[in-house]
Amino acid sequence: MENKLTFNKYQKSKPAVWSAEDMSLAIELLQSDPLYPRLPETRVYELAELALNAGAGNADEISKICDCSEPLRLARTLNIRVLFDISLNYKAGGLSILSSYSHKPPTITVFENRLRLFREKLPKKDKTGRIFLSNLTNICVAHEIYHHIERQTFCFINLAYKAPVVDFKLFRIEKSMTMLSEIAAHSFAKKLMDLPSLPCIIQEEYRGGF
């Protein structure tokens, strides 16, 4: 398959009905963005929903184009390298960063030792916990595939809202909200893998395990 994607048009993403839990998780992510205090309260729900729909819409389309919804196989189809970092170096973003994406060349790195810590802390008794435990690696890969799609199409959902950080009469500097892309990536992983909720819920479960 040709590596250049062209279909990421978040403005045309198919609307979906999101659970109260997913919407709450998305808004919590948005609230963690440094620019959130500059976001009008009336735009919060709208932008969270837009990002959720963007991720789900892209998952639907890429799975149809590639006839595949298995993240590792999908990465191979899209010519993305997947590397597994087994080092004990936790400096690259801290323990909460489980994976990363680099576009030259397209590469997903999964930090296996951090995943091991998550597996030890996540609850194993309930069905949802077991689903996430057994799919952590694939969830990470799916999440980063969304960032690959954004990069390949130059259609970044975070540009849906740009907050002014410097506003003078002669010029104005604006910054985008990076958490919109993270919400979309979580939504992409949920839809692609048919998960019970946004996978960012594992971050809360992990923090609660200490």
Strands 162-167 and 81-85: unpaired
Q: Write out the chain's pLDDT in tens, 210 residues.
A: 444 454 445 444 455 689 999 999 999 999 999 999 989 999 999 999 999 999 999 999 999 999 999 999 999 999 999 999 988 766 655 667 899 999 989 999 999 888 888 787 776 656 666 777 788 999 999 999 999 999 998 888 988 888 777 777 677 677 888 999 999 999 999 999 999 999 988 776 655 543
**The pLDDT of residue 17:** 81
**The pLDDT of residue 125:** 58
CA angle 197, 199, 202 (to 5 degrees): 110
Strands 106-111 and 81-85: parallel
Distance CA(20)–CA(23), nearest Å, equals: 5
**The pLDDT of residue 179:** 93
**The pLDDT of residue 210:** 39
The position carrying tokens 């680099």 is: 102
**The pLDDT of residue 207:** 57
Q: Maximum distance among all alpha carbons in the chain?
A: 59
DSSP 197: S
**The pLDDT of residue 166:** 75
Best CA proximity match to 190, nearest among 65, 51, 80: 51
Tell me if 30 sits within 8 A of 44, measured CB to CB.
Answer: yes
18-25 long-range contacts (CB < 8 A, ≥24 apart) are 18/49, 18/52, 19/197, 21/197, 21/198, 21/201, 22/52, 22/187, 22/190, 22/197, 22/198, 23/48, 23/49, 23/52, 25/186, 25/197, 25/198, 25/200, 25/201
- Four-residue CA torsion sign, 82, 186, 87, 94: positive
By three-state DSSP, how is residue 106 classified?
strand
Q: Please give the model's pTM, rounded to 2 decimal places.
A: 0.86
Q: Is 180 exposed, middle or buried (0-12, 13-18, 19+ CB in 10 A)?
A: buried
**The pLDDT of residue 144:** 97
Helices assigned H by DSSP within the chain: 20-31, 44-66, 71-77, 112-121, 127-153, 179-193, 201-208
